[in-house]
Amino acid sequence: MSNIFLLPPNLDKRERFAASWEYLLKNVHSLGQDFVSFLTQRSGKPRSTFIKAVSYPFFSSDIQPDILLECQDFDIICDHRIESELSEYSLASFLAIAKLQAKPTYVAVISNSYCLFEPEILDSEEAKLYYLQPHGDINSSMPYFCWQDIYALVAQKEHHLAHEFVEYMHFMDMQPWQHRMWGDLFLNPDVAKSFSEQWGQTIDYFEGIAIAKQSGYSALEIIYPLPWLQLLYVYAARSVPHQDLQSVSPYLVATVWLKGDARKQIRAFQGINQSFAIPENNDLIVEVRASVADGLWIMKADSRPKLAATYYTSLDRLVSKDIPQVQANLLAFTKAVFAHVKSIVSSSV
């Protein structure tokens, strides 16, 4: 994007970020060099001179990465994960593109939260040749880069555009989480594992009611606690799609997935926008929002599960050094969400 002031108004959050990041790297060239050096040094690759960044470069009609970093000796395809979402394109697709390039090309994934990659992809020959996987003391076990680390790179630049972009990154929840015990929750798998171990009380509570088990890095799955409630999925997240929340990043999130044919129950959540305090701890405020798809689900008759609503609370207010209290708070949040889901449906069906 040659003129940042001419960005199309219909860009989504991810597209706008990519165009703005390209603009910053173009105008603060030394930051582009620092960024390339950071990616290569952390992944054990040789350094190269940064030339320019291009947002959404064309490789084929069906795949476009967020950013291409053009360097003197190689290029780097960058896949951005902004809201913990799954990329439209898989890592395998980007590796296949890198393999086809005449110029040596690598792939880097930069995420704002957890990314779960299939082990066979990371162990593949293509990944060994073309994937920039971080190594070293920081985030040593995470197989991707984190925006939190890039935030620090930008923040140290003495340039007004860099200062303004840091504010933008803060708005995008990319700043480091300043928590003495849990601050590396999204960076260090050992901390994530420790967090996931705090679900024990919640799992015990739902025994005999549903199948409750740990999932991913630090999430909890509660499967069929009610005949029409197919999945209650509780997880920690750095950023979320709803922008009208009083809760602040990072978040504890619970998504409510209903059976596809439970049309009356799905309709009960249409347009929902509420908040309430957890009975066991009035300092924990929970906000609930309707699915982004909202009323569109009502018109879909297939049997696939539908995301009816999402519940949020600030993770800062939930975690502490007091492990028993963390466990109690996780249980209280999950119980409160479950009770609220039942009350919404019972009052409308």
Query: Domains in the chain, ordered, with CATH?
Result: 4-171 (3.40.1350), 189-346 (no CATH)
Which residue, 114, 115, 119, 75, is CA-closest to 97?
A: 75
Q: Which stretch of DSSP H or E encloses residue 273?
A: strand 273-278
* CA 172/CA 226 separation, integer angstroms: 35
In one-letter notation, the amino acid at residue 268 is A
Q: What is the pLDDT along the chain (349 residues), one digit of tens a residue?
A: 567 777 888 888 888 999 999 999 999 999 999 999 999 999 999 999 999 999 888 877 677 889 999 999 999 999 998 865 544 458 888 999 999 999 999 999 998 888 878 889 999 999 999 999 998 655 456 889 999 889 999 999 999 999 999 999 998 889 988 888 998 888 888 888 899 999 999 999 999 999 999 998 889 999 999 999 999 999 998 888 777 888 888 999 999 999 988 889 988 998 999 999 998 888 889 999 997 654 444 445 567 888 999 999 999 999 999 999 999 999 999 999 999 999 999 987 5
Contact assessment for residue 187 and residue 145, using Cβ atoms and an 8 Å cutoff: no
* CA 242/CA 289 separation, integer angstroms: 8
Contact assessment for residue 77 and residue 95, using Cβ atoms and an 8 Å cutoff: no
Length reported for the chain: 349
Q: Which residues of 281-307 are buried (b: 16+ CB within 10 A; e: fewer)?
A: beebbbbbbbbeebeebeeeeeeeebb
DSSP H helices, the chain, are 13-27, 29-43, 91-100, 119-122, 125-130, 147-155, 160-171, 189-196, 200-205, 263-268, 296-299, 323-346
DSSP H helices, 197-241, are 200-205
DSSP H helices, 156-307, are 160-171, 189-196, 200-205, 263-268, 296-299
Which residue, 177, 197, 169, is CA-closest to 110?
A: 169
Write down the pLDDT at residue 73. 97
Write down the pLDDT at residue 298. 47
Q: For residue 287, how far is the Cα from the chain centroid?
A: 19
- Give ∠ CA 199-201-207 in degrees, rounded to 5: 100
Per DSSP, what are the bridge partners of residue 219? 215
**Residue written as token pair 């064309």:** 58
In one-letter notation, the amino acid at residue 49 is T
pTM above 0.85, yes or no: no
- Residue 193's CB is within 10 A of a number of other CB atoms, namely 13
* CA 235/CA 315 separation, integer angstroms: 10
Write down the pLDDT at residue 197. 94
Q: Which stretch of DSSP H or E encloses residue 77?
A: strand 75-81
Which residue, 4, 24, 5, 313, is CA-closest to 151?
A: 24
Contact assessment for residue 236 and residue 315, using Cβ atoms and an 8 Å cutoff: yes
**Residue written as token pair 């991810």:** 14
Write down the pLDDT at residue 84. 53
- Report the SS3 class of residue 50: strand
Write down the pLDDT at residue 294. 47
* CA 269/CA 349 separation, integer angstroms: 11
Write down the pLDDT at residue 60. 72
Write down the pLDDT at residue 1. 54
* CA 288/CA 296 separation, integer angstroms: 18
In one-letter notation, the amino acid at residue 178 is Q
In one-letter notation, the amino acid at residue 92 is A
**Residue written as token pair 């600030």:** 314
**Half-sphere CA count of 191, side-chain side, radius 13 A:** 18
